[in-house]
DNA sequence: TTGATATATAAATAAATTAACATATGTTTG
DNA sequence: CAAACATATGTTAATTTATTTATATATCAA
């Protein structure tokens, strides 16, 4: 059996839990998946996810708040992007699990 | 920028979200961390997490329901263990992220 | 400057999660 | 078989999160 190398401190567990909670939603995972390719505008994300404007905005802002995404405006559009690509590894990680 | 290899189907995103939601809690992460070493009884997990009997039982049963843990009885004790060690990779994955 | 387009915000509600407490069940031991 | 121990279950309350609808703000183009 593999042992987790270093035990995570309680506060780090909290932080990890917070991030996981932030992304533990099918739409948010889809957003991450789409953004793994490259940055997208809100409109593009709406189309990619088939989620209406206000709701996707809520999702995006929450993910931004929690540090997973960042955004910048360019004219009428706002682009969202992953703060750290590393997060996409979570798909590999999960897919490796027998129960998925 | 790294691209996620294969796009996950909608139903797989749902499944992944379900699992992430299941473990996105500091106590549950701690349980996974402890079990990464080896199987433990409920009592041992209570001690390791400092969580009271009923509450930890609820956590354990939820994780078992979702397929993350399995359990078996041995006398008065019930042992819980990880169904798939692979799940512990999530710690590495998260620790690699700049926002953690 | 007005209208159109893109996005954000606010408020209300619905739904899900977590925690706490009380009680029940299963197993061993005397 | 009764008491003790380990764990599970049921119920409710508290809290958090997700969704919807309506409205506001920002930017561009005519």
- Strand D contacted by B78 CB (< 7 A): yes
Give the CA-to-C1' distance from A45 to C13 in angstroms. Answer: 26
Closest nucleotide to the alpha carbon of B44, via C1':
D6
Where chain A has pLDDT below 70, the residues are 1-6
CB B36 within 8 A of CB B81: no
Instruction: Please tell me which residue, A2 or B91, carries the higher pLDDT value.
Output: B91
The alpha-carbon gap from A75 to the nearest alpha carbon of chain B, in Å, equals 24
- Say which range, A2-6, B55-59, B61-65, has the weakest mean pLDDT: A2-6
Mean pLDDT of chain A: 94
Domains of chain B: 10-95 (1.10.10.10)
Percentage above 90 pLDDT, chain B: 90
- Strand D contacted by A54 CB (< 7 A): yes
CA distance A11 to B97: 16
Give the CA-to-C1' distance from B55 to C22 in angstroms. Answer: 13
pLDDT at residue A4, rounded to an integer? 58
User: Pick from A13, A96, A100: which is nearest to B30 by CB?
Assistant: A13
Does the ipTM surpass 0.95?
no
Do the bridges between strand B40-41 and strand B77-82 make them parallel or antiparallel, or are there none, so unpaired? antiparallel
- Strand D contacted by B70 CB (< 7 A): no
- Mean pLDDT of the region B79-90: 97
- Mean pLDDT of the region B16-31: 98
- Mean pLDDT of the region B51-71: 98
Determine whether the interchain pair A24/B29 forms a contact, defined as Cβ–Cβ distance below 8 Å.
Answer: no
CB A96 within 8 A of CB B10: no
Is 60 exceeded by the pLDDT of residue B46? yes
CB A36 within 8 A of CB B4: yes
Do the bridges between strand B69-74 and strand B77-82 make them parallel or antiparallel, or are there none, so unpaired? antiparallel
pLDDT at residue A46, rounded to an integer? 97
- Own/partner pairs, B54-63, CB within 8 angstroms, 24+ separation: B56/B27, B56/B31, B59/B25, B59/B27, B59/B28, B59/B31, B60/B31, B62/B22, B63/B22, B63/B23, B63/B28, B63/B31
Is 90 exceeded by the pLDDT of residue B6? no
pLDDT at residue A6, rounded to an integer? 63
Q: Which of A30, A89, A96 to mutate to test the interface with B (most CBs of B within 10 A)?
A: A89
Give the CA-to-C1' distance from B13 to C26 in angstroms. Answer: 39
pLDDT at residue B89, rounded to an integer? 96
pLDDT at residue A35, rounded to an integer? 98
């Amino acid at each position: 059996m593999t042992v987790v190398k270093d035990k995570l401190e309680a506060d780090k567990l909290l932080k990890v839990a917070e991030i996981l909670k932030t992304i533990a939603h099918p739409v948010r995972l889809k957003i991450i998946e789409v953004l793994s390719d490259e940055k997208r505008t809100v409109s593009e994300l709406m189309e990619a996810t088939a989620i209406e404007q206000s709701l996707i905005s809520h999702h995006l802002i929450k993910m931004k708040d929690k540090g997973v995404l960042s955004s910048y405006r360019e004219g009428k559009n706002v682009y969202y992007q992953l703060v750290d690509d590393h997060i996409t590894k979570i798909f590999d990680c999960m897919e490796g699990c027998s129960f998925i």
